[in-house]
Amino acid sequence: MHLEGGPVAIETKLGWTIVGETDRGRNFEETLGESVMYMSVTDYSITQLWDLDTIGVRDNVEVKSQQQQEMEAKDRFLQKISRDPSGRYIVELPWREGHPPLSNKEVAVKRLQATTKKLKEKGLFEVYGKLFEDWEAEDFIEEVGERSSGNVEHYIPHRAVIKPGSLTTPIRPVFDASCGSKMSPFK
């Protein structure tokens, strides 16, 4: 398949990379194997580029075994678990140690806007909102205000599943706890 356009620039961990076709004057079949790749590295010295750690390659000695990681995760879990005055358990999400903070707020907000638009078009926005109001009244969920930027935050977007024939749950939210962020793995 031939895409219109020219070379594109992609920011990678090692700098800006330009990738694309080199010759637009010939037939696509003739230029199929030809491409250009150029890297502009401005943030690293040549010594840093030779260091494999810069691109994420580590020696096996530096990488913890799966069993060690599981034991450390269990220890962190046991240290962080607590109970509130009503007796409910409070547990932090199991973040991988040393991983940069993630935020999927932008993705979650866009999904919320799409869900809201769809529900309003179908006249189900108030019914869907009532579910969340009921959950809040029953203390299943709580409203969380703005947090300081230093906290690790992960949002759980949801979408409405509509089953008009269902007597018990004609509309219900489905949550996507595995929703990632828009952050590129190379940044």
* Segments of the chain with pLDDT less than 50: 1-3, 32-33, 184-187
pLDDT computed for residue 180 by the predictor: 79
Paired tokens of 146: 């703005």
The position carrying tokens 């694309």 is 20
The neighbouring-strand residues paired with 172 are 161
The neighbouring-strand residues paired with 89 are 83
pLDDT computed for residue 148 by the predictor: 62
How many whole angstroms separate alpha carbon 20 and alpha carbon 28? 13
How many whole angstroms separate alpha carbon 88 and alpha carbon 66? 31
pLDDT computed for residue 32 by the predictor: 46
